């Protein structure tokens, strides 16, 4: 007796279930990191090795327990392949903060570069103070240079 299967050439189709760990909204840097990690099929251990941090550190970022330090911003941006929050950046303070992260510089280093003191730079980044015209021009040049650097590194 022979049994013949009639379903041999049948292909089942359906949506792949969404990973419950996948962020519903991209709000925090942790959300962006988790999304990129899951999209690439990487484990937290693999991401930790790429970023040269511990697995617990990556877990803390993804769960929004803490934010990465500025010194790791270049590595994270390189891992993501883009600058998160770029669409939301409207204020000069936020643009300056992101440019500083891209460049991997501290507030002190950038303050010296643009010719103001560190406390003023911090207040500008927090949108508590508007820079004077002379400093604003230097800030805009710094922002443009960091964005050029990012686009050159990604190509």
Query: Domain for residue 62, yes or no?
Result: yes
Residue 86 has pLDDT above 60, yes or no: no
Question: Are residues 108 and 58 located together in one domain of the fold?
Answer: no
Question: Are residues 65 and 112 located together in one domain of the fold?
Answer: no
Question: Are residues 62 and 122 located together in one domain of the fold?
Answer: no
Query: CA angle, 83 as apex, 78 and 88 as ends, to 5°?
Result: 170
Query: Domain for residue 21, yes or no?
Result: no
pLDDT attached to residue 113: 92
Domain containing 147 equals 86-154
Which whole number is the average pLDDT over 89-114? 85
Query: Domain for residue 15, yes or no?
Result: no
Closest CA to 111 of 91, 133, 131: 131
For the entire predicted model, the pTM comes to 0.62
Question: Are residues 105 and 120 located together in one domain of the fold?
Answer: yes
Query: Domain for residue 23, yes or no?
Result: no
Q: In the Cβ-directed half-sphere of 93, how many Cα atoms lie within 13 Å?
A: 12
Query: What CATH number is given to the structural domain containing 47?
Result: 1.10.260.40
The pLDDT tens digits for 115-146 are: 999 999 999 999 899 998 989 999 999 988 88
**Domain boundary residue among 45, 60, 80?**
80
- Distances from the Cα of 118 to the Cα of 33, 99, 110, 121, angstroms: 29, 16, 8, 5
Say which residues have a Cβ less than 8 Å from residue 36's Cβ, sequence separation at least 6: 79, 80, 81
Question: Are residues 48 and 98 located together in one domain of the fold?
Answer: no
The number of folded domains in the chain is 2
């Amino acid at each position: 007796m022979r049994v013949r299967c009639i379903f041999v050439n049948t292909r089942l189709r359906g949506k792949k279930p969404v990973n419950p760990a996948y962020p519903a909204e991209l709000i925090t840097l942790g959300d962006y990191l988790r999304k990129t990690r899951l999209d690439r099929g990487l484990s937290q251990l693999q991401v930790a090795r790429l970023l040269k941090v511990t697995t617990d550190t990556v877990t803390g970022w993804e769960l929004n327990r803490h934010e990465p330090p500025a010194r790791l911003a270049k590595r994270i941006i390189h891992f993501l392949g883009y600058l998160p929050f770029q669409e939301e950046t409207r204020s000069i303070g936020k643009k300056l903060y992101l440019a500083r992260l891209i460049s991997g510089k501290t507030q002190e280093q950038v303050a010296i570069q643009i010719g103001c003191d560190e406390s003023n730079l911090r207040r500008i980044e927090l949108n508590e103070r508007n820079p004077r015209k002379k400093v604003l021009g230097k800030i805009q040049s710094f922002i443009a240079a960091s964005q050029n650097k990012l686009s050159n590194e990604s190509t």
